[in-house]
A and B are shown apart, each in its own frame.
Chain A
Amino acid sequence: MSDGPITPSPLEPHAFSYAPMPDAGLPVRERLGQYPRVPDLTFDALRTIARWTAVGLTKLQFPIEIRGEEPAGDRVALVANHQSHLDSLVILASLSERRRREIACLAAKDYFFERTSVALASSLFAMAVAFDRARYTELRRWTRILREQRRGTLLVYPSGSRRRSEAHDAILFVLASSGWSIVPVAIAGTAEAWPVGQALWRPFRRVRVTFGSPMTATPRKDLGKALAAFWSANA
């Protein structure tokens, strides 16, 4: 309810006009992977249930040691090393519920959003959004998206793969030039808890998540090196 005087609406007729949802006509897997997410009662409810389930099960099975301060700010990019499918779940479990609600994890479209079943699992449980590695204008598209966003939390694995440890500079450059605060995150222990190539995880392994300070003072060209140093120092 408004505290001040209520302004009556102008006495002008309004014609019926239909404005379909912006993602109407897109297949389900495309809708799941879009960022920013278009509000959807069904997906939002399912995502909340899946997130609670995933975080609860992760916390139950893996003792997580959290170091450093949880990042603050309106537009935060958590930039982490990537060594296991558990990484996103462990980071989700390390954040506050408010951050978890808004976080989106950048994931390869060709891997996570080709089949509806995989898209559902990664979008609902790990908050994944699609990054199209095959499209050469993708970085430009993301630059525009990130500049337009007023608030959000993005989880990025700049190595692009669990089998690679060096960061790709391009995505870091996009994040920095869009004005997002880059927060380094080092994950340790997940490689042993769920190694690459294994079908099943090994519960009750200790994992550690270290949040660094925002890399505001680091020159853009040195972001990759600074991240590598942070990751190896907290491995």
Chain B
Amino acid sequence: MGIEALPQPLAAYTALAALSVVVFGLFLRVTRLTAGWLPYRTWLLMLPVVFVALWLGTSAWALLITVLSIYGFKEFARATGLYRERLFVLTVYLAMVAANALAYFGRFGLFTVVPMWGVALLTLVPIVRNKTEGMLQDFALSVLGVVYFGWFLAHLTYLATWDGGLGLVLYVVLATQLNDVVAFLFGKLFGRRHWTALSPNKTVEGSLGALVFGIVFAFVNWQLAFPQLPWWGVLGLGVIVGAGGQIGDLTLANFKRNVGIKDFGDLLPGHGGILDRLNSLTLVAPVAFHFTRFFFGGFP
């Protein structure tokens, strides 16, 4: 059964998102945080895209995730120079389409071996290209593409196919995005102590605020999004979003510093590229998926 079976959380979350837009707009107006207006306007475009896909059903959601994965990886490949090696890039695209298709059809066994088949295909590229120079780097970056940007994100498609998984999808997507906003706001308002070289603007106060928010937000959403879970499952999800989101964020920040760029792109004004927006979600989606599946067998 698809997510169409459970429209209630979607309607509630759509209303919640609309309310958040209004409240956050008022907040920006009152606090005169001018830096927040540009990302806010971009949110006004992004939220309808996400919600329209969810309202249309699992297939539209799978398509959206596939497109976002491909575009996100494209940004990564352009930034690292891997994009010059078309065969590597096309192989990663193929693995991304396969991962999302298998997730959409609920073929868990095949879905879990997509990284293996993707990497196996990648081994053929240097042989076909008959070239050695730079191939280790391109191969390594492509493996990262298949696993981290492709397979990890495809878990969002899989989540949507579970009975009752829609609540989890909505919670994971919205909580990670709100988590970023909360970390930013806490950092701006209370941030004093910086704690990491990976992202020098991060503060202890901002990160702790985001972690606490993640946990509180999980309990607030408990009955609406995942009433099947016990309290410790909800707590686990809160920690995964609160901490995992920030780890995902730092991981991408680390990649950017290695490459020497500030943003992966400029498609989303005020946010950067698609990857700059998906950084937290990339890690949180598979961890939340496997946590729920391991302890609770999904939502059978």
Show the binding face of A for B, using Cβ within 8 Å. Answer: 1-2, 9, 14, 16-21, 24-25, 27-28, 39-42
Chain B, interface SS category: helix
Pairwise interchain contact A16-B137, C-beta atoms closer than 8 A = yes
B257-279 residues at the A interface, CB under 8 angstroms: 258-261, 266-267
The answer to the question of B130 belonging to the interface, with a C-beta cut-off of 8 Å to chain A, is yes
Q: Once the chains are docked, how many angstroms separate the CA of A28 from the CA of B268?
A: 11
Chain A, interface SS category: loop
Q: Once the chains are docked, how many angstroms separate the CA of A88 from the CA of B84?
A: 30
Show the binding face of B for A, using Cβ within 8 Å. Answer: 74, 78-81, 83-84, 86, 89-90, 130, 132-134, 136-137, 140, 258-261, 266-267
- Give the residues in chain A near B90, CB-CB below 8 Å: 41
Pairwise interchain contact B79-A20, C-beta atoms closer than 8 A = yes
Q: Looking at the complex, which one of A17, A21, A27, A28 makes contact with B83 (CB distance below 8 Å)? A: A21
- Give the residues in chain A near B89, CB-CB below 8 Å: 41
Pairwise interchain contact B133-A9, C-beta atoms closer than 8 A = yes
- Give the residues in chain A near B260, CB-CB below 8 Å: 18
Chain A proximity of B33: nearest CB distance (Å)? 25
With A14-B137, A20-B78 already in contact, the answer to whether A27 and B258 are too (CB < 8 A) is no
Chain B proximity of A79: nearest CB distance (Å)? 34
Q: Looking at the complex, which one of A14, A16, A25 makes contact with B266 (CB distance below 8 Å)? A: A25
With A41-B86, A42-B74 already in contact, the answer to whether A25 and B261 are too (CB < 8 A) is yes
Q: Looking at the complex, which one of A20, A25, A39 makes contact with B80 (CB distance below 8 Å)? A: A20
Pairwise interchain contact A14-B136, C-beta atoms closer than 8 A = yes
Sorted nearest first, the 3 A-B pairs with minimum C-beta distance are A19-B81, A9-B132, A21-B78
Chain A proximity of B174: nearest CB distance (Å)? 27
Pairwise interchain contact B133-A14, C-beta atoms closer than 8 A = yes
Chain A proximity of B273: nearest CB distance (Å)? 10
Chain A proximity of B250: nearest CB distance (Å)? 19
Pairwise interchain contact A28-B267, C-beta atoms closer than 8 A = yes
Q: Once the chains are docked, how many angstroms separate the CA of A17 from the CA of B81?
A: 9
List the B residue with the shortest CB-CB distance to A30. B266
Known: A40-B83, A41-B86. 4 other contacts (CB 8 A): A17-B137, A19-B81, A25-B261, A39-B86
Q: Once the chains are docked, how many angstroms separate the CA of A186 from the CA of B130?
A: 48
Q: Once the chains are docked, how many angstroms separate the CA of A16 from the CA of B139?
A: 11
Q: Once the chains are docked, how many angstroms separate the CA of A2 from the CA of B260?
A: 37
